[in-house]
């Protein structure tokens, strides 16, 4: 799967920020400094024998961009090094990473146990699409480990979680859930989109698989969609076989955008976290704010676990305002700076009302049970000055 050209491979002993800038870079015969974008759908062979050797996998090298592309390979190698994974496979989006993971590793009759607090499209995929193909899912608490134990069946093959969760920033104890998965011979997949490897390294905590929506912090500037599946060679190989056959692969252009994005990942995650902590602390002191959800605050019920498992609290803060939907919408409609959009992981601060946007399609009862009230707002804190973000929110508060 790897490209054999002149390589800039670094030993993983370098610090994460060094690896984020340099790992995975491979130069062509032109010795370009910045990574090249290989906009080609196929690759030529020197002769018939080489073509044959490539196709049967006897000789490594590129064949066709649905299988591999050198720019995409650089992205995969860089992210693999950052996550401490043996193998990484890039996909066209975060959702296609989850799809490829499950299509590669599961079959009809298998069972998934998933956190109830995962991304909405993930719930849809498991509930409405996989169910049609005979893969059932049991949804359990993100935080109550005993529910994971109780949900295991003889057919359970996969545990799936996301931590911190969206929008309430619940923290799942990766090491504790990994211990249960190991005991039952189940694979644990962690969607590491909110933290990125800069803040949280799930494989070191016992997870088997990491899922990324690269669309968020890995890009960091809201430009392109992409995703990734990481794990051991043994786990990723069937996922790669699905991907090269079915085709939701990452484009070379998008891989290049992610390579550039990852070079600033460490300083961005540090700044997102510092800004989010400042905004969350300020929100806690506002008279019309009744509750703030942020893992970096000592008031967060799982603050100790979060600080053990993550480097910082990350960039996402949710808060509840007095006065329900009307008051929440007033905050949104009085902003002049922050973007009213459900996306996250961007240098630009984004603000959304989960109960009428990201979580609008679930029943009011399910929303209430999940704690997503009408007064709840989610802010993905960007890199603007904290004072400007605070002033923008203050207007509607």
Ligand X SMILES: *Cc1c(COP(=O)(O)O)cnc(C)c1O
- Residue 160 gets which letter from DSSP? E
Stretch that binds ligand X, among 54-62, 90-98, 269-277, 354-362 (CB under 6 A): 90-98
Q: Are 136 and 87 in contact (CB under 8 A)?
A: no
* Cα-based torsion angle of the residue sequence 300, 98, 251, 314 in order, rounded to the nearest 10 degrees: 10
Q: Which of residues 334 and 343 has its CB atom nearest to ligand X in the complex?
A: 343
Q: Which lies closer to ligand X via its Cβ, residue 227 or residue 354?
A: 227
Q: Tell me the chain's radius of gyration from C-alpha atoms.
A: 21
Binding characters for ligand X, 323-352, by CB under 6 A (x = yes): ------------------------------
Cα 320 to Cα 74, 177, 377, distances in angstroms: 42, 29, 6
Per CB under 6 A, the list member of 191, 219, 374, 392 interacting with ligand X is 191
**Residue 293 bridge partners (DSSP):** 318
- Tell me how far, at minimum, the Cβ of 192 lies from ligand X, in Å: 9
Among 193, 210, 317, 386, binds ligand X (CB under 6 A): 193
* Alpha-carbon 397 to chain mean position: 31
Considering only 62, 213, 254, 312, the residue that binds ligand X (CB under 6 A) is: 213
Residues composing the chain:
397
What is the per-residue burial (b if ≥16 Cβ within 10 Å, else e) of 213-227? bbbbbbbbbbebbbb
Q: Whole-number minimum distance, CB 22 to ligand X, in Å? A: 25
- With CB under 6 A as the contact rule, the residue among 163, 215, 254, 352 that binds ligand X is 215
Site size with ligand X, rule: CB under 6 A = 14
Contact 63, 55 (CB under 8 A): yes
Binding test (CB under 6 A) with ligand X, winner from 69, 93, 169, 358: 93
Stretch that binds ligand X, among 93-101, 254-262, 316-324, 386-394 (CB under 6 A): 93-101
162 binds ligand X (CB under 6 A): yes
Task: Name residue, tokens 């004072």.
Answer: 387
Residues 103 to 132 in contact with ligand X, rule: CB under 6 A: 119, 121
**Distance from C-alpha of 358 to C-alpha of 373, rounded to nearest angstrom:** 13
25 or 165: CB nearest ligand X: 165
- Identify which of 192, 347, 386 has the alpha carbon closest to the alpha carbon of residue 264: 347
Euclidean distance between CA atoms 242 and 248, whole angstroms = 9
Cβ 88 to ligand X shortest distance, Å: 16
Only one residue has tokens 């400007």, namely: 388
Closest chain position to ligand X (CB)? 94
Site for ligand X in 10-49 (CB under 6 A): none
* From candidates 227, 295, 313, 354, binder to ligand X by CB under 6 A: 227
Residues that bind ligand X (CB under 6 A): 93-95, 119, 121, 162, 166, 191, 193, 213, 215-216, 225, 227
């Amino acid at each position: 799967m790897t490209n054999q050209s002149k390589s800039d491979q670094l030993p993983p002993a370098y610090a994460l920020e060094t690896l984020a800038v340099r790992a995975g870079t491979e130069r062509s015969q032109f010795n370009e400094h910045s990574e090249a974008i290989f906009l080609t759908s196929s690759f030529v062979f020197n002769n018939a024998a080489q073509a044959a050797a490539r196709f049967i996998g006897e000789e490594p090298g590129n064949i066709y961009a649905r299988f591999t592309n050198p720019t995409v390979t650089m992205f995969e190698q860089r992210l693999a090094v950052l996550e401490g994974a043996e193998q990484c496979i890039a996909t066209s989006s975060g959702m296609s990473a989850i799809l490829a993971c499950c299509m590669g590793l599961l079959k009809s009759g298998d069972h998934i146990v998933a956190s109830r607090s995962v991304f909405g499209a993930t719930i849809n995929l498991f509930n409405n699409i996989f169910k049609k193909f005979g893969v059932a899912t049991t949804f359990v608490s993100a935080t109550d480990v005993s529910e994971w134990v109780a949900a295991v069946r003889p057919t359970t093959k996969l545990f799936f979680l996301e931590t911190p969760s969206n929008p309430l920033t619940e923290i799942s104890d990766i090491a504790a859930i990994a211990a249960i998965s190991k005991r039952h011979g189940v694979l644990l997949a962690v969607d590491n989109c909110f933290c990125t490897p800069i803040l949280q390294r799930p494989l070191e905590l016992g997870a088997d698989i990491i899922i990324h929506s690269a669309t968020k912090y890995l890009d960091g500037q809201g430009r392109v969609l992409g995703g990734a599946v990481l794990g051991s060679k043994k786990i990723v190989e069937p996922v790669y076989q699905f991907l090269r056959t079915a085709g939701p692969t990452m484009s070379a252009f998008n891989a290049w955008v992610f390579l550039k994005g990852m070079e600033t990942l460490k300083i961005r995650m540090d700044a997102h976290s510092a800004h989010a902590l400042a905004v969350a602390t300020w929100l806690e002191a506002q008279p019309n704010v009744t509750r703030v959800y942020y893992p970096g605050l000592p008031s967060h019920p799982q603050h100790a676990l979060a600080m053990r498992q993550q480097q910082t609290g990350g960039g996402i803060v949710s808060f509840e305002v007095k006065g329900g939907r009307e008051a929440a919408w007033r905050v949104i409609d009085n902003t002049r700076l922050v973007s009213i959009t459900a996306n996250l992981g961007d240098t630009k601060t984004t603000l959304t009302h989960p109960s009428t946007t990201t979580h609008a399609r679930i029943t009011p009862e399910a929303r209430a049970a999940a704690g997503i009230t009408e007064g709840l707002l989610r802010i993905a804190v960007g890199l603007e000055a904290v004072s400007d973000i605070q002033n923008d929110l203050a207007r509607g508060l």
